[in-house]
């Protein structure tokens, strides 16, 4: 039971982080493509903005690892 809850917690940590990243990237990506079409020189800046939310899923992944390896 406890292992199951830990696994659920780890899954939630990475899953919610991934969903949040995806949601943010979808919005930034859509706006970014529009910006690039109008001003191709903004490509670099758009790439930077697009990858910023990935930190959320990385943190989720780290928390999941901590749950699985430290708390078990």
**Measured distance CA(1)–CA(10) in Å, rounded:** 14
Name the token pair of 10.
């780890």
Residue 15 or 54: which CB sits closer to other proteins? 54
Q: Which residue has the tokens 């930034």?
A: 28
Positions touching other proteins (CB under 8 A) are 43-45, 47-48, 51-52, 54-55, 58-59, 61-62, 65, 69
Name the token pair of 45.
């800046």
Residue 31 or 45: which CB sits closer to other proteins? 45
Name the token pair of 18.
């991934």
Nearest approach in angstroms of CB 69 to other proteins is 6
Nearest approach in angstroms of CB 70 to other proteins is 9
């Amino acid at each position: 039971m406890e292992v199951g809850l830990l696994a659920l917690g780890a899954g939630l940590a990475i899953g919610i982080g991934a969903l949040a990243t995806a949601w943010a990237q979808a919005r930034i990506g859509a706006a970014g493509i529009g910006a690039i079409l109008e001003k191709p020189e903004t490509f670099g800046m758009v790439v930077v903005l697009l990858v910023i939310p990935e930190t959320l899923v990385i943190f989720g992944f780290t928390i999941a690892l901590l749950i699985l390896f430290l708390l078990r």
